[in-house]
Amino acid sequence: MQKLSAMATKPVYTARTADKYVLYQESVQNTEFEVQMVERFFKKFRGQSPVLLREDFSGTFLFACDWVRRNKKYQALCVDIDPEPIQWGRKHNLSQLSQAEQSRITIKEADVLKVHKPLADIVVAFNFSYWLFKEREQLKTYFQSVYQSLGPKGMFVMDSFGGSAAHSEQEEPRKCEGFEYIWEHEKFHPLTSEMRCKIHFNFKDGTKIRNAFVYDWRLWTPLEVRELLGEVGFQKVEFYWEGTDQETGEGNGIFRPAKRGEAAECWIAYIIGLK
Ligand SMILES: C[S@@+](CC[C@H](N)C(=O)[O-])C[C@H]1O[C@@H](n2cnc3c(N)ncnc32)[C@H](O)[C@@H]1O
């Protein structure tokens, strides 16, 4: 019986029926984990509990939904420029929340550079979204704008990746429940650090969704980010570096404070800017 019900709930995806946002959320995001981590960072660095979190480049705002679920005092403001993921998020993520939880989320279809109020305790920008600002002045303007949007004890958290693999052109497949996720570095320009990355999905029946998501980015180093955060007024910048699973050699999901990192083929880190 147990086996039958397990089989019945296993997702069966094909290119014709799969929804690219479902696949994205399944394969890329781990928002429950990130919500807990961000909460831990705030309590550690600010010695108090946060209330309002702004999710920049929020897409389907899964993170914000998990944020308001986490604590009945938590509120979220989500900002994304594209109506498509916002509509999808309203239908599939917001609708899963209770009325009380929904009342603590505000969704804004806007450019992150244009939103400064209300002042937030925390701003997050995840999945490397700030890398779409390719010029130094553009990224500095964004960081200035985040600085202005934070209350006096505000905290800004973003992620970063790198390593020798980040500078190469390659496809990296990973098995997920019911489909295969492929992360492609289609192009990397060593002289400018511009990169074009793509997400593709393959299915068990042989069908594929190519170019489900495409990103034109500049690969910013944590040092460049730290320098820019300092220039716009952040008093302190902390890096959190992921540990390595000794058996697999892969990241183990445990992030600890670090000053220098290690020369891994592929690494992920969080960057925290403190006002
Ligand atoms: C990589 S997705 C991030 C989705 C989600 N936050 C995550 O962590 O996976 C990037 C999002 O940024 C949005 N975006 C791009 N430029 C923007 C801008 N200037 N202001 C607000 N959102 C923007 C896109 O519409 C897209 O939904």
Is 27 touching ligand 1 by the criterion CB < 6 Å? no
DSSP secondary structure letter of residue 59:
T
The CA 66 to ligand 1 mean position distance, Å, reads 18
> What pTM value is reported for the model?
0.95
The CATH number fitting domain 20-164+221-274, selected from 3.90.78.10, 3.40.50.150, 3.10.450.50, 3.40.50.300: 3.40.50.150
**Distinct helix (H) and strand (E) counts, the chain:** 8, 12
Atom 13 in ligand 1: which residue has the minimum CA distance?
Answer: 57
- Does any ligand 1 atom lie closer than 6 A to the CB of residue 132? yes
Nearest CA to ligand 1 atom 18: 111
Which tokens hold the place of 68?
């308001």
Given ligand 1 and candidates 65, 129, 268, which is best to mutate, with the most ligand atoms within 8 Å of its CB? 129
Distances (CA, A) of 135 to 158, 161, 193, 237: 18, 18, 11, 21
Please tell me whether residue 103 adopts helix, strand or coil conformation.
coil
Residue 3 confidence (pLDDT) = 42
What is the structure's pLDDT at 9? 66
CA distances from 153 to 122, 123, 238, 241 (A): 9, 12, 15, 23
DSSP secondary structure code for residue 134 in this structure: -
**pLDDT for the residue numbered 12:** 83
pLDDT score of 137: 98
pLDDT tens, per residue, the chain with 275 residues: 344 444 456 778 999 999 999 999 999 999 999 999 999 999 999 999 999 999 999 999 999 999 999 999 999 999 999 999 999 999 999 999 999 999 999 999 999 999 999 999 999 999 999 999 999 999 999 999 999 999 999 999 999 999 999 999 999 999 999 999 999 999 999 999 999 999 999 999 999 999 999 999 999 999 999 999 999 999 999 999 999 888 888 889 999 999 999 998 999 999 999 99
Complete edge-to-edge strand list for the sheet that includes strand 267-274? 105-109, 75-80, 52-56, 120-125, 150-162, 267-274, 236-244, 251-258
How far apart are the C-alpha atoms of 102 and 59, rounded to whole Å?
A: 17
Helix axes 136-149, 222-231, angle to 10 degrees: 60
Question: CA–CA separation, 156 vs 211, rounded Å?
Answer: 30
> Which are the contacts of 95, defined by CB distance < 8 A and separation ≥ 6?
none
**Residue found by looking up tokens 């705002």 in the block:** 61
* Domain range list for the chain: 2-17+166-216, 20-164+221-274
Q: Which alpha helices (H) appear in 72-171, and where do they start and end? A: 83-92, 99-102, 136-149
85 lines ligand 1 (CB under 6 A): yes
Cα of 42 to ligand 1 centre, how many Å?
Answer: 23
φ and ψ at residue 125, rounded to 5 degrees: -135, 100
